[in-house]
Chains A and B, each alone.
Chain A
């Protein structure tokens, strides 16, 4: 447990010192919320206020950008630069290390979500969610699922060069067709079906139902199931493909 907190603190320090990670994965969803909120927050999207629509969308986008994209990039960079290999030669248990990295990135996402909710209230007068526990469970589920997918993706990426291009090319379009920025109804049918298959749209919908319609998490078990299935798939890829060292030259 001492080792876990030791590593957790180091992970927090490493994240906030890395401008790339801290800006692109943490700050960008907050910036987009303010920008888009001031642009079309007053409109009505799919029958709800633009602000509320965007808040759920940006929380989902934030989950994808921190726990999926940020985690995948962080792991690829550490693996390819030889840091993971070196940690393996120390007495730090691998499971403790992974747990600390996961806990750190999930905490960062929860901070981001809290800031988004607070900004929604302060800047756009979005009412605070009532079922906080359900929201928290939904966000933890989403974060865990995306983290598993992020570790899985890291194991599929072969080199640090171009890894951010690969990661961005995946999660940005997915955020669009999942309705994070605006209604997914504007997309052609094929893309809407694709969005429906992927987990982000379900996380955003779950967050929306909990925050706006005061649903409890057990009212939306179908969304929960889709997110969980993706998480398990990510976990399988992650466990099978995880590497501590760069690929052989």
Chain B
């Protein structure tokens, strides 16, 4: 399997601040890859270098076999980009946007088909300025897919969505995966990465602090987590020996006559892993 994306030692600095500090990863063709991290971790900078918007300071980057910094028209025809922010033309309709962008590609998908794929059939004739935030985001996706790209970059595609809109967007993204597209997705929603991505890299302050399948990341986290409330305060205990720890805890509670309110014992979720990894360490 060839790699759609290869990144080695990538660095980018803005005015002396290192936004990306030497990251490595690759995305095999056909994979959904999630870049997960809090705001300011360097996700958007990484994507903008991969699509050719920005120049890197150091490192090697190959996207569909080419260096994005010097890529040509043919290469641009093979990628699709949903930027994190940015508007379209407020006075054009949904279908006019798809027709306009379809004209830029050699072999576009039929605009009507894309309209259905992103669920905007009823809005075909609506001016963009009348669309809701979620509908605009779906049009963003439609515009990115109109050229029938092999590789799609989705920079925080569902930020600001309500839960039902987010679920609908996930369905669409999963349907892209079944079409065999390679997808790079950035998100700060753990659940989104868990649901959509085959593999995840967790980015913190410009560095990849963990990577693997969601299951691997969870397995790497050593501890079982025990949570309870005492005197109204939440207590969290991480332990390698859940049986012993729990026994001691309940023994102590019985002896001293207090209750373990809301006691729960669980395996770490991806969220726990993520919070541990992205926690700001002092110093």
Count of chain A residues near B, Cβ 8 A: 21
Q: Inside 8 A of B105's CB, which chain A residues have their CB?
A: 90-91
Contact of A91 (CB < 8 Å), options: B83, B87, B100, B147: B147
Q: Inside 8 A of B52's CB, which chain A residues have their CB?
A: 88-89
Contact of A90 (CB < 8 Å), options: B74, B88, B101: B101
A232 sits at the interface (CB 8 A): no
In chain A between 1 and 47, which residues have their CB closer than 8 angstroms to a CB of chain B? 3, 6-7, 10, 13-14, 17-18
A82 to B104, CA, bound (A): 18
Q: Inside 8 A of A18's CB, which chain B residues have their CB?
A: 91
Q: How many A-B residue pairs have CB under 8 A?
A: 61
A245 sits at the interface (CB 8 A): yes
Count of chain B residues near A, Cβ 8 A: 27
CB distance A82 to B91 under 8 Å? Answer: no
A128 sits at the interface (CB 8 A): no
Quick one: CB contact mask for B90-112 with A, threshold 8 Å, 1 for yes?
01100010001101111000000
Contact of B86 (CB < 8 Å), options: A3, A86, A91, A92: A86
- Shortest CB-to-CB span from B25 to chain A, Å, is 21
B77 sits at the interface (CB 8 A): yes
CB distance A91 to B103 under 8 Å? Answer: no
B51 sits at the interface (CB 8 A): yes
Q: Inside 8 A of A220's CB, which chain B residues have their CB?
A: none
B53 sits at the interface (CB 8 A): yes
Q: Inside 8 A of A81's CB, which chain B residues have their CB?
A: 86-87
Q: What residues make up the interface of B, taking CB atoms closer than 8 Å to A?
A: 14, 51-53, 73-74, 76-77, 79, 81, 83, 85-89, 91-92, 96, 100-101, 103-106, 143, 147
Minimum-distance CB pairs A-B, first 8: A82-B86, A17-B91, A6-B103, A91-B73, A81-B87, A90-B104, A89-B81, A92-B104
